[in-house]
Each structure stands twice: as C-alpha cells, then as structure tokens.
Structure 1
Amino acid sequence: MGVSEEAIDEFQELIDQIEEPLKKTFERVHQGYLRENLSRFLKARDWNVCKAHTMLLECLRWRVDNEIDSILSKPIVPTELYRDVRDSQLIGMSGYTKEGLPVFAIGVGLSTFDKASVHYYVQSHIQINEYRDRVLLPSVSKKNGRPITTCVKVLDMTGLKLSALSQIKLVTIISTIDDLNYPEKTNTYYVVNAPYIFSACWKVVKPLLQERTRLKVHVLSGCGKDELLKIMDYTSLPHFCRRGSSGSSHHAQIVDCFSIDHPFHQQLYNYVKHHYETKGQAEPAKQGSFHVGFPEPEAERVEIAKTIESELHKFERYNGLPKPFNDRKSSHETLSDEGP
C-alpha cells in the first residue's frame, strides 16, 4: 500500500493530543521529520491508524519508562568492556549509499555475544540505534537537503554454524526491541556470504513472514560486491564484501568496520562520553549496565525463533553441514524485518 496522506493527517491529529513527557520523547524520535516518522509506524501496522497510534504510544511509554532519551550519556565502561562488546557483537557503519542512506554492516555469523551480560549488548544496540536516529540521520538529511530516515544493512553470514542456537534468545530480544520501537528504519537488507545452513533456515522461515517484510531482503551471491557496487561506492563497502578486488587502489589496508578503532565507533563512544562528562563528572566511573525492559516478542517473532531453533537442531542431529550455499547465483529474496 502506498503512502496515505489522509492516514498521516488523522494520525498526526491524535499524536498532537498526547501529554508530556510522551510529547518530548517523540520529538527525540522524529527529529523534526514528523510526517516521515508517523509514516513508519503506519507502515508497520499496514496503515491502520488505530493500531499505529497504539504502537507509537507503547513505544513512547517504553522510552520514558526506560530513560531511553538519556542512553547516549551512559557509556559502557571501562573501555576494555566496551572493546569486548565490540569484539563479540559485530556491527558497524561502513559508509553511505549513493542516495545518502547509512550502510550498516552486521556480522551475524561471527558474533558470539559471550563477553558481557545481555544488558550490555542491548544497551550497545540501542545506543547505536539512537546515535543513528538522533545524530547520523539528521546530519545526512541536512547534507542532502531532504529527509533521510532509513538505512540499509549488509548481513555477513560468514561463520554461521550450529552454535548460533545459543544466541537465538538474545537476537530475538534485540529484534523485538527494533520491531516495536524502531519500526521501518531499515530500507533493505542484503545477505552475503551465506552458507547452506542459512539457506535451509531461510526456506522454512520465509513463508512465515509478511510480504512487506519478505520484500526487504536480498540474498546475494558470494560476498555480494558486484551487486552492492550498484548502490554504493567501493569505499562504502563493508570490509567483508571487498574480496577479489583488483587494482592498486583496492589493495590499500581495509579497515574492519566492526572494530572499536573504526572511526564510527570512535565517534559514537566519544559522543557518549562527552555527554556523560557534561553532567559534571570528569571521567566515567565504573557502573552497572543500563537495564532496559525487554518487550514481549510478537507472535510472528516467536514462531520464527522456534522454527529456526528446530531447523538448527535438525543439523545438530545430522552431525555436519552440506556443501556451501554461496556458490549459487544471486537471488533477490528477503529475511527479517528489524534486527539483529
């Protein structure tokens, strides 16, 4: 369904009536792009104004109850712990598409989530979301002279194996937070370096997804370089997509966009640290993690998690994986809505 200006108008009238502090936290959400953000919640609820209104109110209450507006002044300390989180929760920003959308890279297969408590991983994920929405997107919108409110994500499946079974609960928590509180923030997902185990899981998960969700993700051949270069410059390719390059300029040292030393993570960490220090403290003291309430996953998400878990158990029983999947030709198909 296309954009309905009438639905947005009706939704805006309802939202204009909300009380403080919900109105204040919503300003943090829309960053001046009110109608574009109302449209996100409408899309997530198939343009049903009543359902979108309920969804947005629940999101705003979640933000207030969990003090999400202040999460960008809550650094993960000490730095060694933040480094451990970055080494085990592989996510980064590699650049921008030709249309100006931020390109986020996610190491699905090699993320282990085994060096900190679940609360630190959730805190880190929400901080990246908030930095994207409150700093990066407003900046790139201003630079391009038009609203840019979404990003693209490149999901690297390198190393995906049966041990992923132990990560399903945490990934489900993070995905649910995104589904309910950051809906429609990802324009397209690109899956690269996909092994056979991904193909098998995808076949059983795909029928469970809504068409709107399925159409978002493209499963690319191999590292996906050739396809991704159609929408972004070489310098914006995630490091895991740069295999097989030729030419002297392509032999320069490739920066791992997951690393804490990557400019994106340095800028994010310095931003959070600065906002902590402006509260009057010179150096972040050791603190507990920023605990966030975990929303109950929707029925679709629960069913997907159970299906993936069942499929992985089948592989576990068969003791091994068949031949790699990424030798296949590119197929433009689709994965999950928001997250990991």
Structure 2
Amino acid sequence: MAAPQPREFKPDPKYDDYDFPTTAAIPLSGHPGYTTAEQDAQVFQLRSTLEGLGYTERLDTLTLLRFLRARKFNVELSKQMFTDCEKWRKEFAGGVDELVRTFDYTEKPEVFKYYPQYYHKTDKDGRPLYIEQLGKVDLNALAKITSQERMAQNLVVEYEKMADPRLPACSRKAGSLLETSCTIMDLHGVGLGKATSVYGYLQSISGISQNYYPERLGRLYVINAPWGFSTIWGIIKRWLDPVTVQKIHILGSGYQKELLAQIPAENLPKQFGGQCECQGGCALSDAGPWQDPQWAKPPKWAKAKEEKTDAPTIDNTNNPGPTSADGSTGPAAMGAAVDASAPATQPAA
C-alpha cells in the first residue's frame, strides 16, 4: 500500500497552540499531516459533539486524532472513550491534573531496588526510551516501602510527563511530531514462582494505559522471555489488531542485536548490551532531550497551576505546547501492548 500523501495541518484556532512540530515522523494514514478530508471532518464532528456535552479541555486536534485512531475513526466510540477518560481523570486520586502538579514520589530510589521502571534517553527515531525490569519485582518488599495505590499514581504521573514535557522536547529535537515511546520490558528472573503475582499486578493496572492513554505505544521489546512465553504470545496476538502486533517483539536472551538496531549504543544502558553508564545509575538519571534547555520547555500543566478555575474539566495537559500523556514509567507495557488493544506499563498502543 502506498504511503499517504502529506496534507497541510490546519490548526484549530481555539484549541491548537503547539510549540513543537505537528507533522508525524512516519507517514501513516490518520496521523497528523497525513489525514484525509474525511478524517478531518471526523475530528470536527467529535470536537463539536464533545463541546455540545460541555467539554472544553483536551479538545486539540492531536489529542482527538489519537482517540479516533484508537477506535478506527468511529466517532461515537471515540466519544465514549473520551468521556470515560475525562470522568476517570476527574476522579482518580482527587484529579489527574492536580496529581501531576503535586505528586512527590519520595520513595522512588527504594522502590526502584525492587521494581526499576524509568525513561532513559531515546531510540533511533527520537522517541523516549522506557524500561521496566519485571524480574526484579518483589511485591512483598515493595509493600513495606510504598503501596500499590502510590505505584499506580506514579504510573499516571509518568504518563502525563511523557506527554509533556518528554514528547514535545523529543519532537523539537527530531524536527517532526513524536507521540509514542519505545519500551523495553525485561522478564529476566520472572520464573514460575513469580509469574502469577507479577502478571497479576500488571493486569490490574494495564487498564489505565489502554483506556486512558491511547496511541502511545511505538515499539515494545519483551526481552529475556521465559520458556513457554512465545506459545502464550502466539495465542494472545490472534486477538490483537495487526497494527499492534507489528509493534511488539518477543525476544529471548539473545536480544542485543535487535535492540541495538533500534536504539543507539550510547543511549542503551550497559546492562542491556549498550554503552551508557550514567553517573548514579541510568535508572534514576531521567536523561533525555526533556532535560536539555535547547529542547525542553516548562510543561503546560505546570504553567496552568496558577490559572486553575472551577471548571468541571482539566487543564490542557494532553493538548497544546508540550502536550500531555509512556510511557512511561509505569507498569502497563505489556498491558498497553495489548491495547490499541493491548498491555503495557507504559505506552498504550
């Protein structure tokens, strides 16, 4: 199939206020800069419907396109997904917008000893690299340090920070719009004894990524997959959208060559076959374009702190200028993977 032809992005003067590129890096139908006239009309229809229901936040074009793509451009299904998301954003932990502004994960260094999950630099496409080491998960040890509620809140905060400031900074550096992350899910150490509790935990939180952060998964590498996992995956993928399946790569212990084909050696932590050794450890460095003054800008949700009103919705976290949404630090990578249909701690497909 021929790649879609570029199409001028026409911003909505009321909601679109971007300070980063708005044409997708890869020419795919339904993505910014490669929409059809019919898809543009569906964005207008969805926005008008939501306005009629009283919504005023997160109605920017990039956000609406993500919800539409997640529901195959079915406006009614996209509307339901959006309204369910807004309801959740208002109710979760007292409100997602306030949570991202105030959450302080002071126990993070201790938590990471038993569940490393972090963003670290970028892949060769310029997308944020997100890493989870599920083999180190020790839920009993974690229960003495934090709570699953706090871990879920951290997941949500990291999704918000992925959307803004991480993705906008990466887009500025790349010179094109980047809306997804590249995820590594390391299953080394996830034996039969640990599998039930680990996968059970992932399942419990995967709904966050697949229901409320659509179209955030770019690539997912499941490495050190244990014996039998490929068989399970062969069954699962039959139920997934082919587009999602293409994003997921199941690898055993010989994963280094494939990872390095997508991730620069200088960006990949040494423990995974790369060359990076951040001072203090890669897991806690949060290194990436979002830390570089040349590309980074204050996140929209931080600017909005003093502009809060009594409006029923939220600030444009997932909207303009650094926009808002994984990738993630959070446990849903395999969960999100199975969104667009999928599971993933981080980005939803």
TM-score > 0.5, shorter chain as reference: yes
Structure 1 residues 121-270: aligned runs within 5 Å: 121-162=151-192, 163-242=194-273, 250=275, 256-258=281-283, 260=284, 263=287
Structure 1 residues 53-92: aligned runs within 5 Å: 53-66=79-92, 67-76=95-104, 79=106, 81-92=107-118
Give the letter aligned to residue 23 of structure 1: T
- Distance change >3 Å, CA 82–CA 176, structure 1 → 2: same
Mapped to 2, the partners of 1:164 and 1:76 lie a distance apart of: 30
Q: Runs of 5+ in structure 2 lacking a partner?
A: 1-27, 292-297, 307-333
Give the letter aligned to residue 98 of structure 2: S
Give the letter aligned to residue 282 of structure 2: C
Q: Runs of 5+ in structure 1 lacking a partner?
A: 28-33, 244-249, 280-303, 306-333
3-state SS of 2:135 partner? coil
Answer 1 or 2: which has greater helix percent. 1
Q: CA offset at residue 137 of structure 1?
A: 0.7
- Distance change >3 Å, CA 35–CA 142, structure 1 → 2: same
Q: CA offset at residue 178 of structure 1?
A: 0.3
Structure 2 equivalent of residue 10 of structure 1? 42
Give the letter aligned to residue 41 of structure 2: D
Larger radius of gyration: 1
Mapped to 1, the partners of 2:204 and 2:44 lie a distance apart of: 30
Say whether the 8 Å CA contact 2:269–2:277 is kept in structure 1: no
Structure 2 equivalent of residue 331 of structure 1? none
Mapped to 2, the partners of 1:153 and 1:8 lie a distance apart of: 30
Q: CA offset at residue 335 of structure 1?
A: 6.4
Give the letter aligned to residue 139 of structure 1: A
Say whether the 8 Å CA contact 2:47–2:64 is kept in structure 1: no
3-state SS of 2:126 partner? coil
Once the two structures are superposed, what CA deviation does each residue of 1:92-117 show, in whole Å capped at 9, x if it has no partner?
A: 12211222111111112222344122
3-state SS of 1:104 partner? strand
Mapped to 2, the partners of 1:8 and 1:214 lie a distance apart of: 27
- Distance change >3 Å, CA 2–CA 216, structure 1 → 2: same
Q: TM-score, normalised by structure 1?
A: 0.67
Mapped to 1, the partners of 2:138 and 2:66 lie a distance apart of: 31
Structure 2 equivalent of residue 313 of structure 1? none
Q: CA offset at residue 87 of structure 1?
A: 2.6
Say whether the 8 Å CA contact 1:90–1:107 is kept in structure 2: yes
Q: CA offset at residue 255 of structure 1?
A: 6.5
Mapped to 2, the partners of 1:151 and 1:121 lie a distance apart of: 20
Say whether the 8 Å CA contact 1:100–1:144 is kept in structure 2: yes
Once the two structures are superposed, what CA deviation does each residue of 1:139-174 show, in whole Å capped at 9, x if it has no partner?
A: 222233321111110111111112121233321132
3-state SS of 1:230 partner? helix
Mapped to 2, the partners of 1:10 and 1:190 lie a distance apart of: 33
Mapped to 2, the partners of 1:96 and 1:214 lie a distance apart of: 22
- Distance change >3 Å, CA 187–CA 251, structure 1 → 2: closer
- Distance change >3 Å, CA 44–CA 204, structure 1 → 2: same
Say whether the 8 Å CA contact 2:120–2:285 is kept in structure 1: no
Mapped to 2, the partners of 1:87 and 1:125 lie a distance apart of: 17
Say whether the 8 Å CA contact 2:135–2:186 is kept in structure 1: yes
Mapped to 1, the partners of 2:200 and 2:285 lie a distance apart of: 29
Give the letter aligned to residue 183 of structure 1: P
- Distance change >3 Å, CA 175–CA 85, structure 1 → 2: same
Q: CA offset at residue 262 of structure 1?
A: 5.4
3-state SS of 1:189 partner? strand
Say whether the 8 Å CA contact 1:21–1:64 is kept in structure 2: no
